[in-house]
Amino acid sequence: MYCENCRVKIDGKTTVCPLCHKQIVNTHDKPAFPVPNPKQTASSRFLPIFSIIFVVVMAVSIALNVYYYKSYSYPWSLIVFFALFYIGFFIKRTILAQSHFRQRLIGQTLFLTIIAFVVRLVTSKFDWIFISVLPTIYIVSIILLVTRMIKYSKYAKKNIISSYILGFMGLIPIITAYAFDLSMKIPAFIASGLSAMLVIVVTIIFRKLIILEIRKFFHL
**pLDDT for residue 84 is more than 90:** no
Predicted TM-score (pTM) of the model is: 0.64
8 A C-beta contact, residue 119 and residue 126: yes
pLDDT in tens, 173-193: 999 999 989 889 999 999 999
**pLDDT for residue 130 is more than 60:** yes
Indicate the pLDDT class of residue 216, thresholds 50, 70 and 90. confident
**pLDDT for residue 117 is more than 60:** yes
* Cα distance between residue 170 and residue 198, in whole Å: 10
Alpha-carbon distance values, 130 to 80, 85, 114, 135, 188 (Å): 19, 21, 12, 7, 8
8 A C-beta contact, residue 177 and residue 130: yes
8 A C-beta contact, residue 74 and residue 121: no
* Cα distance between residue 191 and residue 185, in whole Å: 10
Q: Which of 15-29, 47-61, 63-77, 161-175 has the highest mean pLDDT?
A: 161-175
- Which pLDDT score, from 0 to 100, does residue 32 have? 46
Instruction: Tell me the domain boundaries of the chain.
Output: 1-32, 45-98, 105-220
| Structure letter (DSSP) for residue 37 | P
Q: How many CB atoms lie within 10 A of CB 189?
A: 14
pLDDT in tens, 142-164: 999 999 888 888 888 888 998 99
